Amino acid sequence: MIDSTIRDPLYRELDRWHAAGRVARLWLRDDDAIEPTPALDRLLAETKIYGIPITLAVIPAFTDEALVARLADEAHVNVAVHGWAHHNHANSDKKKQELGGPRLEETILGELYEGFLTLQKLHPTRFLTMLVPPWNRIDKALIPKLPALGFQSLSTYGRSKGENALAILNSHIDLMDWHGTRGGRPMVDLIGELVVELQDRFEGRNEPIGILGHHLVHDAAAWDFLAKLFGATAGHPGVEWASAAALLQDQISTS
């Protein structure tokens, strides 16, 4: 169980949603999948226990049939395109980026198209026409070119500004402390951020809240947070864990 001093603000907010006859929407994205690993097994098992749909952002350059076989019986999993090789091509004084920087646009788009076709062929029934840029970064000039490659949606990080022609399904709460311990962030901080996002949505923003994991680097704190979050929310009438496919379909049907 989550400590009551951390849990109670979350429950108060979810109870407010339920009392108003509303349901908050959460979704789960996990990045950097390539192949079966013990960490992936744990993620798939815990999400299945609680009925949590999950989108795996898969790196196309390094994946193969082994991942296909592992996901064969995992009906709650979708697959999205995580760039091409998750290689940093930015200059040393810039933030890490694969989709932009000094590279030729035609090279980047060619890799993305190859990545799209690779995952579409490997995972035809669970494939999303969604691009998840490595490090959540992509040059803005590339975005209008994505539909010609087959992409219909984009997932980065932060609240959507709504300026793109593509459907946007972002993540908002990252489990990992990338600039500090590089382990899981404190539960009090994560729950606090979730409450803030819920309050923002209650006031009118029509955007699902995305939880972002990286199963390959999860430590005990990150796994503990996910398990306790799933347990605290899975049965609450004020919140729903939705699949990316359903959320994107809702966006398309109401646009």
Q: What is the pLDDT of residues 193-219, one digit of tens each?
A: 999 999 999 998 889 999 999 999 999
The range of the structural domain enclosing residue 126 comes to 4-17+25-254
The confidence band for 2, taking pLDDT boundaries of 50, 70 and 90, is: low
Beta bridge partners of residue 77, listed in sequence order: 54
| pLDDT tens column, 67-81 | 999 999 999 999 999
The string of pLDDT tens digits covering residues 145-173 is 999 999 999 999 999 986 577 999 999 99
The answer to whether residue 58 scores a pLDDT higher than 60 is: yes
Q: What is the full DSSP assignment across 144-211?
A: GGGGGGT--EE--BS------SSEE--B-EE-B-TTTTSSBPPHHHHHHHHHHHHHHHHTT---PEEE
pLDDT per residue as tens digits for the range 115-152: 999 999 999 999 999 999 999 999 999 999 999 999 99
Q: Judge whether 132 and 78 are in contact, CB under 8 Å.
A: no
pLDDT of residue 4: 76
Give the SS3 label for residue 37: coil
- Phi and psi at residue 23, to the nearest 5°: -130, 120
What is the 8-class DSSP label of residue 54? E
Q: What is the mean pLDDT of residues 44-54?
A: 97
The domain total for the chain is: 1
Residue 242 backbone dihedrals phi, psi, to 5 degrees? -115, 155
Distance CA(47)–CA(124), nearest Å, equals 21
Contact 153, 127 (CB under 8 A): no
116 vs 96, residue with greater confidence: 116
Whole-number pLDDT of residue 93: 78
Q: For the domain that residue 161 is a member of, what is the CATH number?
A: 3.20.20.370
